[in-house]
Chains A and B, each alone.
Chain A
Amino acid sequence: MIAKLKGNYGSGLEALTYAGQNYMVVDRSLIPEILQVLRNEEEFDYCVDITAVHYPAREKQFDVVWVLYSFPRNERIRVKTQILDGASLPSSVPVWPGANWLEREVFDMFGIKFDGHPDMKRILLPDGWKGHPLRKDYGILQQDNEWVQINLGIESGQ
């Protein structure tokens, strides 16, 4: 399968293995297509998880990771792509409806928007919160003091 995908997409796709787990690093430009191919042709019908990692020191700061599983093949694979700060990605909700809340959480925690998502808003944090906590430049004890003062009526959450 990897050989076939590599054959089609050549340099945009790199297949690696770490600790016995297969994953692919793909170019941002290939993203909606690769996921659709994996879903429709390679039968990866279950989107296990969508998450992101922030590397502030790198030029392409965010790593967005899709963990996919195929019931017919009993195989798990990860697809990774790197994007710039402020860039957005096409939503996977048309491919896997279960990606809905997973993408909302990535947006909430990292600020990465997904175009075409039916309901792109915060999920875990309150709607008016400013800041995206899982970024590395957000302090561990930091809170949105303005939101706390307006909504909870106290000086600070600390």
Chain B
Amino acid sequence: MTDPNSTLSPLELESHDKTYLDANELVINMGPQHPATHGVLRVILRLDGEKVLGLECVIGYLHRGVEKIGEHRTYTMFNPYVDRMDYVAAVSNGLGYCETVEKLLNVEAPPRAQHVRVILTELNRIASHQLWLGTHALDIGAITPLFYTFRDREEILKIYEKYCGARLTTHAFRIGGLQYETYTGFEKEVKNFLTFFRPKIDEYEELLTTNRIWVERTKKVGTISAKDCIALGVTGPVLRASGVKWDLRKAQPYSCYKNFDFEIPTGENGDTYDRYLVRMAEMRQSVHIIQQAVDALPEGPIMAKVPKVMKPAAGEVYHSIEAPKGELGYFIVSDGSTQPYRMRVRPPSFVNLQALDVMCRGQLVADVIAVIGTLDIVLGEVDR
């Protein structure tokens, strides 16, 4: 006997009578196993023919209890767990966590460490957006970009592998700085990657931006207004594509982003096409930031003076960074011992997924797939 379906939440429907089984209404389950849901996400769709009247997301299939585990590990021991949440862009998770604990300990990573952190984090942003582009185009039906974007992602993962030994769950940063010095040839390889990658963004834009099928499938799909985005707490490229020019790297700068000069791309309409353009522009900006960071890489120590046994003073801190998906925040409560008392992770994908209902009302079923892709969610982060 299996768990009965949870009762559907009361949605504002445009159907005449609000009974559970309406002859005009079809309830379809887009189950946890589905090629286009980017992980184990279950979406219960209420359809009128092919038009979506409302939907409900059921999540929790990938819940691993990371927050509970955090209470039973020391700060250093918890560092690798953090990568596994947003496993597509593991380096940013590490950056957010290390910076939050550094705030608790009241230390600051030395300049060289901060520059290398920025280089790796921006490479991570490019890698995440590349994966997004490949899978999003694949969901909509354009199969070719997938292979090209994964090839570019390979180049970045090769750099990660040479730097810290791992491609995906990198554990690249340590509390207080970095553990590994950059390998010989790091700067040259990063610069080679940038020269290799710059024309590639233009290539992908040429394939998709003015492509008639792409435009037809993404314009006016999944529109969300700036007011709705702010009210729902949506951040990241989704918010920027709706017209709000806000990026945590500029609004509440962290690490050494103050030293670099970059723009914040925004969109106008808040539809899928604008989100695509915003992410492409963000990749260009990331290339620009990495170029500046590599050119300005200072010499010096890579680790601040941090005690071996970390016992931050009792207190609480909330710190967030601009992850590729949105605002990734950590709220850590310390009680003065070696283990955190409460380790809360504020995942961008979890809060962004709330907007799926609003974005899909009145759209067709095929558009739901496009919208899930454009929200760029990673279930590891949604469920933790």
Contacts and interface: CB of A to CB of B under 8 A. Distances in A.
Interface of A: 18-19, 21, 23, 45-49, 51, 53-54, 65, 67, 71, 74, 76, 78, 96-102, 105, 109, 118-119, 121-128, 133-134, 138, 140, 147, 150-151
B317 A21 contact: yes
Contact of A21 (B67, B318, B333, B346): B318
A35 to B, nearest CB: 14
A67 B331 CA distance: 9
B49 to A, nearest CB: 26
B230 A45 contact: yes
Contacts of B63: 124-125
B369 to A, nearest CB: 21
A95 to B, nearest CB: 9
Interface in B89-115: 103-104, 106
A17 to B, nearest CB: 10
B259 to A, nearest CB: 20
A98 B342 contact: no
Contacts of A65: 316, 331
Given A98-B351, A98-B354, A133-B65, A78 B318 contact: yes
B252 A74 contact: yes
B67 A46 contact: no
A148 to B, nearest CB: 11
B318 A67 contact: yes
Contacts of A46: 230, 233
B329 A48 contact: yes
Which of B1, B341, B351 has the most chain A CB atoms inside 10 A of its CB?
B351
A118 B244 CA distance: 28
A119 B9 contact: yes
A100 B228 CA distance: 14
A48 B346 contact: yes
Given A19-B104, A46-B230, A151-B2, A124 B59 contact: yes
Contacts of B104: 19
Nearest to B250: A74
A18 to B, nearest CB: 5
Interface size class of B (residues with CB under 8 A): 35 or more
A51 B65 contact: no
B318 A100 contact: no
23 contacts: A19-B103, A19-B104, A19-B315, A21-B317, A23-B316, A48-B233, A48-B346, A49-B346, A53-B333, A65-B316, A67-B346, A78-B318, A96-B233, A98-B232, A98-B354, A118-B9, A122-B60, A124-B59, A124-B63, A128-B3, A133-B68, A134-B67, A151-B1
Contacts of A128: 3
Nearest to B9: A119
Nearest to A23: B316
A2 B383 CA distance: 36
Contacts of A124: 59-60, 63, 383-384
Contact of A140 (B2, B6, B69, B329): B69
B55 interface: no
Contacts of A118: 9-10
A48 B234 CA distance: 9
Contacts of B65: 133
B72 A140 contact: yes
Interface in B236-290: 244, 246, 251-252
B69 A18 contact: no
Nearest to B358: A97
A79 B304 CA distance: 32
Given A51-B344, A151-B1, 14 more contacts: A19-B315, A47-B233, A48-B346, A49-B344, A49-B346, A71-B244, A74-B251, A78-B318, A97-B231, A98-B351, A105-B350, A121-B6, A124-B59, A134-B68
Interface string B157-179: 00000000000000000000000
B237 to A, nearest CB: 16
B249 to A, nearest CB: 13
Contacts of B231: 45, 96-98
B233 A98 contact: yes
A100 B354 contact: yes
B351 A102 contact: yes
Interface in B1-59: 1-3, 6, 9-10, 59
A46 B234 CA distance: 9
Nearest to B10: A118
Given A98-B233, A119-B9, A151-B3, A18 B317 contact: yes
A101 B3 contact: no
Interface in B310-336: 315-318, 320, 327, 329, 331, 333
A115 B346 CA distance: 23
A45 B252 CA distance: 17
